[in-house]
Amino acid sequence: MGLMNYYRRFLKDHAKKTECLRHLLQHNVPFVWNSEQEETFQSLKDALCSAPILEHADMSKQMILTTDGCSSGLQGGSK
């Protein structure tokens, strides 16, 4: 669910589509996985693997690459 929350802006009706899975995360709710949860899970996996979430980069457009690292973790970097 954490990964899906990151991509929620790309998925129309995210809250409605994930409701049955979010219910399982509530306190004092028994974890019961049935066909409804399985279908929802599979549809979310499919959504993560299709456009606009997963597609080839358009090399004709400007890109901004943001990284999180430090020089001590780079190969050949100063020590």
Would you list the domain boundaries of the chain? 2-54
**Is 37:22 a contact under the CB 8 Å cutoff?**
no
pLDDT of residue 74: 59
- What is the C-alpha separation between 13 and 43, in angstroms, rounded? 13
pLDDT in tens, 4-26: 888 888 888 889 999 999 999 99
Model confidence at 32: pLDDT above 60: yes
Q: Tell me the whole-structure pTM to 2 decimals.
A: 0.61
pLDDT digits (tens, 9 = 90+) for 35-78: 999 999 999 999 888 877 767 788 999 988 877 777 666 565 55
